[in-house]
A = this chain, B = another copy of it.
Amino acid sequence: MIHFDGVGKRYPTGVAALSQVTVRIDPGEFVFLVGPTGSGKSTFLKLIQAIERPTTGRVVVDGDDVGALPAAAVPRLRRRLGVVFQEFKLLPDRTVADNVAFALRVTGTDPVEIGPRVQWALETVGMAPRADDLPARLSGGEQQRVCLARAIVTRPRVVLADEPTGNLDPEAAWEIVQLLARINLRGTTVLVSTHNPTLVDILRRRVIELCAGRIVRDEARGLYQATR
């Protein structure tokens, strides 16, 4: 599904965000990506989406060499991924429902299907009552849930969630992670970066820990902290 092969990413500023990352994530896996601030988690997820290209090594997603993907093929790649961005990236001048519907319209979904599926996604994250509000009128946690709705509405084969619970209270965070786990049960590959030890420790799924751009730990049923 996702295969990093000796991947390095050095930003033009000279920062080496990732070095010699080799890892394989199989279809249907649920993976927590942990590590301190600036360790390269977001960069890892951006490489999968071809937002950034690796400076060395190969990133293969679903058989495509993402690093060498022609610009014209990038949209097709991104449509197969459902992404929760760390900075939300909601369109400020469209309603919650429009923001979620947007991901469907982009993929050319049959218009009659869009309404029900948006409704389903918003109900899943508990934001259906706010469908007609603008993002600026939502609290931080509410915006984060709208992002998640947008990520799952296309029923993608892979969900990438960058810090999807950063603005949520423990209870809401727990609900979101359970939701991701349910989606994973349906066969969707889920990759979640997080700083929340509780969630990781309760769920006990595969944990990949980054530190200064290198994989320092990769455990099948890991905890947030390495067990010494």
By a beta-carbon cutoff of 8 Å, the part of chain A in contact with chain B is 11, 13, 15, 34-38, 41-42, 86-87, 133, 137-142, 145, 162-163, 166-173, 195, 197-198, 224
Contacts and interface: CB of A to CB of B under 8 A. Distances in A.
B195 A35 contact: no
23 contacts: A11-B137, A13-B133, A13-B137, A15-B137, A34-B169, A37-B139, A37-B141, A37-B167, A37-B172, A38-B138, A38-B139, A38-B142, A42-B139, A42-B140, A86-B140, A140-B163, A140-B166, A163-B166, A163-B167, A166-B167, A167-B195, A170-B197, A170-B224
* Of listed A163, A195, A197, residue having the most chain B CB within 10 A: A195
Count of chain copies = 2
Nearest to A15: B137
A34 B169 CA distance: 8
A169 B86 contact: no
B195 A170 contact: yes
B140 A35 contact: no
Nearest to A195: B169
A67 to B, nearest CB: 20
A126 to B, nearest CB: 9
Contact of A167 (B86, B139, B168, B173): B86
Nearest to A168: B37
A130 B137 CA distance: 33
Given A37-B169, A86-B167, A197-B198, 20 more contacts: A35-B169, A36-B141, A37-B139, A37-B140, A37-B141, A37-B167, A37-B172, A38-B139, A41-B139, A42-B139, A42-B140, A140-B162, A140-B163, A141-B195, A163-B167, A167-B195, A170-B195, A170-B197, A170-B224, A173-B195
A167 B35 CA distance: 11
B170 A38 contact: no
Contacts of A171: 36
Contacts of A169: 34-37, 195
A36 B172 contact: yes
B195 A142 contact: no
Nearest to A137: B13
* Of listed A86, A133, A142, A167, residue having the most chain B CB within 10 A: A167
